[in-house]
Amino acid sequence: MKKKITDENGKVYVEKKPFYKKGCFWILAVIAIIIIGAVAGGGDDSSSDKSSRSSNAETAHKKDDRTISKNAELRKKFDAIVVGDLMSNGDGGTSLTDVEKSLGKPVSTSTTNLKNVKVKDETWTKDGVTVTVQFNDDKTVSKDITGFKFTRSPKLDLKAFDSIADGANYDDVVKRYGEPDNLNEMKISGETTLNATWVTGTKGGTATLMFENGGMTSKTQVDLK
């Protein structure tokens, strides 16, 4: 009930409540606080989403820079094997004993003829990667690795492939595009031959370049873009 007040002249007044004591004021105040809180919370969510997306993008970028094959150590051991000259009984090549000490027991062993020379083949497999080494007189005369996979930037795409001219230096190509994923190396009568393949992405095409004594002699590509 509203309070009535009589002044000194006998006039009667009805006392009005201050606006901050009215019920509707506090209802509106509560609603305003809720709205402000919701807007602020939405802003935090948006900021959190952006931060999450940024973090995911950074993680994806880091993944793109890494070696896809699980066993990078196997690649290092392969790279360390020195190929000797087939026509000189593998002179200068890594010994069979040292190769087996590094790679372990081979999964298969066979004997074949390479350029009319009898050689021993030994094969190792791990994490989808296959390494084959050929020996003459128990010294390495060729080595081959397949199934390995790097990710690289920049990729060796079709435009880059077309720009590689005959005679291009192997070391220069590697410096620009990284080591080939698959590689075969042999040495015959002083001539070192490299058959190198670059794979452009998980589902991409391939570029295969042939080198003799460091200079490119031929190239082929499949599904480069």
Q: What is the pLDDT of residues 69-120, one digit of tens each?
A: 667 899 999 999 999 999 999 999 999 999 999 999 999 999 999 889 999 9
What are the domain boundaries of the chain?
14-64, 72-222
Beta strands in the chain (DSSP E): 4-6, 12-14, 108-114, 117-126, 129-136, 139-146, 182-188, 191-199, 206-212, 215-222
C-beta contacts of 104-113 below 8 A and 24+ residues apart: none
DSSP letter at 58 equals H
> How high is the pLDDT of residue 98?
98
Among 120-124, 148-152, 158-162, 218-222, the least confident range: 148-152
Q: Which residue did the predictor score with more confidence, 128 or 51?
A: 128
Is pLDDT at 63 greater than 80 in this prediction? Answer: no
Say how far apart CA 2 and CA 27 lie, in whole Å.
Answer: 21
Say how far apart CA 150 and CA 57 lie, in whole Å.
Answer: 20
Which pLDDT band holds residue 155 (cuts at 50, 70, 90)? Answer: confident
Q: Are strands 206-212 and 182-188 parallel, antiparallel or unpaired?
A: unpaired
Say how far apart CA 185 and CA 216 lie, in whole Å.
Answer: 14
Is pLDDT at 64 greater than 50 in this prediction? Answer: no
pLDDT digits (tens, 9 = 90+) for 176-200: 999 999 999 999 999 999 999 999 8
Is pLDDT at 7 greater than 80 in this prediction? Answer: no
> How high is the pLDDT of residue 105?
96
Say how far apart CA 216 and CA 225 lie, in whole Å.
Answer: 21
Q: Which residue type occupies 8?
A: E
> How high is the pLDDT of residue 34?
66
**Phi/psi at 154 (5° precision):** -80, 155
> How high is the pLDDT of residue 62?
42
> How high is the pLDDT of residue 58?
44
Say how far apart CA 144 and CA 193 lie, in whole Å.
Answer: 12
Angle formed by the axes of helices 96-103 and 72-80, nearest 10°: 170
Domain 72-222 has CATH 3.30.1450.10: yes
Among 11-15, 67-71, 92-96, 128-132, the least confident range: 11-15
Q: Tokens standing for 54?
A: 């940024």
Say how far apart CA 185 and CA 141 lie, in whole Å.
Answer: 9
Q: What is the mean pLDDT of the chain?
A: 82
Q: DSSP labels for 30-56?
A: HHHHHHHHHHHHHHHHHHHHHHHHHHH
